[in-house]
Amino acid sequence: MGLATWLYHSCFSWRVRLASSAELADADVIMAHEFGNQHDISAASAAMGRSALLISRRYHKPVVLQHPLPRSVPELTPVLIIREHRVRGAYLDTEEVQGQLAQFCRRQGWRKVILCCHPRHAWRAGQNLRRHGLVPVYADNRHIRCDPRCSRVALRWEWLFLLREIAAKLYYFRRGFISDPPT
């Protein structure tokens, strides 16, 4: 696929197929991504934590959380908390989070991962998960919105997050972190 086609899809393709109840029940684990930074809990992060909690309770699934999400759902006991990059001082991005998740899932014999993340992030997170040999199962997180009080400016408003995500898709494609064209 050419770069022009990729640019077009990066700007206009965002949809993922949301999982049915049967697909959620068939999954192995839930992964809840943090939205903001490593130091505070944004409203979007708290919503993702609550979403993971509800899915976990309904389908009796273990949960992996990206730090600092455990603070937003203290009643949830994750099987793993991803706190930092394996390279000291490096930014904990989706590629690193998914890499650590994949390593943990392989040890457990798990393949199907329910993603709890911002709807604009779901496609890239899912494609990256596939790169790590896991199968994404998309929870309905359309209720999660940007947070005007988020400490990261690019995550405060939908239009800024959209621009950030377009750039991230292109960066991930160029680095080989995702390879499938948007659908």
DSSP letters spanning 26-76: H--EEEE---S-SS---HHHHHHHHHHHHHHHHHT--EEEETTGGGT-TT-
Tell me the mean pLDDT in the region 5-11: 64
Angle between helix 158-175 and 94-108 (nearest 10): 70
pTM of the model: 0.89
> Residue 63: which pLDDT band, with cuts at 50, 70 and 90?
very high
> How does the average pLDDT of the chain come out, rounded?
87
pLDDT at 73 over 90: no
Cα–Cα distance measured from residue 68 to residue 34, given in angstroms and rounded to the nearest whole number: 7
> Residue 62: which pLDDT band, with cuts at 50, 70 and 90?
very high
Tokens in use for 1? 């696929």
In CATH, 3-175 is 3.30.750: no
**Contact (CB, 8 A) for 41 and 65:** no
| 29-33, 36-40, 118-122, 178-182: range with highest mean pLDDT | 29-33
Segment among 6-20, 67-81, 136-150, 165-179 with least mean pLDDT: 6-20
Over the Cα atoms of the chain, what is R_g? 15
pLDDT per position as a tens digit, 85-142:
999 999 889 999 999 999 999 999 999 999 999 888 999 999 999 999 999 999 999 8
66: closest CA among 48, 81, 85? 81
Every domain of the chain and the residues it spans? 3-175
> Residue 36: which pLDDT band, with cuts at 50, 70 and 90?
low
How far is CA 31 from each of CA 3, 68, 176, rounded to the nearest angstrom? Answer: 31, 13, 22
